[in-house]
Structure 1
């Protein structure tokens, strides 16, 4: 009886001490390596087996987080792993999971065509394999480009809605299973806009015409100002010399001309009354009188 119990104890105790791993995280990845992490509840030996049947023994003498780096992998490849807990050569059922290495970048991106608002790009698929997708980023804009859309090694894409004469910095990521590559960086510049050139020429011509118009207007203004000043100076009142005759204005029809014997004056007054003219005046010069001659004439009288 005790032999049976001993045999059961020899088989049951190792299985009882096995602690199954329920989660494995990929904390770091590169093109050729994967760093895995899981939590160990007991001091166990682990065996990590990949999809190619290769096994790695992992010794963990302490409880807590366990890290292990798998190297010598291929870029942009999906691997399936199984992690076994081992105690005295007894394995657990194993925890299976998958992990992807970082894909490679494209070798080169070529600008095949450009204008003032668009740039056409083309590149070759990584490893000539259309299983890879791509993300093109410039500024805050990201565009997903499917590799399966064109089943050929060469992939062409046109970036539109750009501004003329602008240099754009692009980053092209290779994507595999939602994992991006480090990114291929390049720059490209759009051409100048023909419409913008016409606008610059039109604005320059209009500016020149406006300057000519202002110059002509200023010339006319200065000319009229000179004429106005000359006219104002010519209309200033002149001083009358004592030697010149003084001119007074009298109304020819202010007196009664009916008893006058001057037939010409009567006819002129009639004409004035007929044409409803008023205040018809005549200029009568009055010569300056010498006082000595006036006294002599009075004495003679």
Structure 2
């Protein structure tokens, strides 16, 4: 049994939701074995008999969770009906300090729901967001936020996404309050839209443009071509639009014959510990990379850093209103 530490601790193992992927639990077990072989501590969370049948040996820590949330389930209802669902149990391990981070290839809605139920939001955030790093040439990766969390995000939610994205992009040496007039380098923030003109887009996007105009580093609307040209360090979108862009880029990479097994998933921001969201179709190598990303996030304290910077603002962000 893993020792108890603080939530998000780099000293604790990474919890793997072993019932999350389309092929579960075989890819998760294979990823756990590969992680253990290179010295990364992991805890598999899922139906014990299924994990044993998939090859999980005694040296790997296993926490029994007899239920799972499928892609067809309504996440909130399924999580409340099944407190022992694998993703919720895995999030509980993180909340109790028995794991330092969580990796899941399950339903994004279920992952976010489990994180909110067991970990809770950080102060100043009402809508967590999925942040993905797009592999844009000549950059360290353009941050796309929200890439899958809140499809119907309103103005305040998108402003909150921008602030979390800036805190993530800025790193330890960046500006603390994103709206402050800082002498240091400020991440460039673009709002994903169908055109560059301020009046383009739906009501929420137009409102977000007005609100973000007061943020230092905001460069206005950006189109997909601008995103791929690296004109912004942070690209803000509602989850529907952001996820479509992300999957389009991924499909183009696959069509071009690029190896995507090293894709490490996307980091969920706005909750109290690192959670990495992987694709449902993830294979063992992809999940192994996601575990590495989760361990790195725990070691760097990125979730706490983003939380501190968002919480430093007196105004609550990400409420999802007004529209």
- Bucket of the pairwise TM-score, normalised by the shorter protein: under 0.3
The TM-score normalised by the length of structure 1 is 0.23
More strand by share: 1
The TM-score normalised by the length of structure 2 is 0.21
Larger radius of gyration: 1
More helix by share: 2
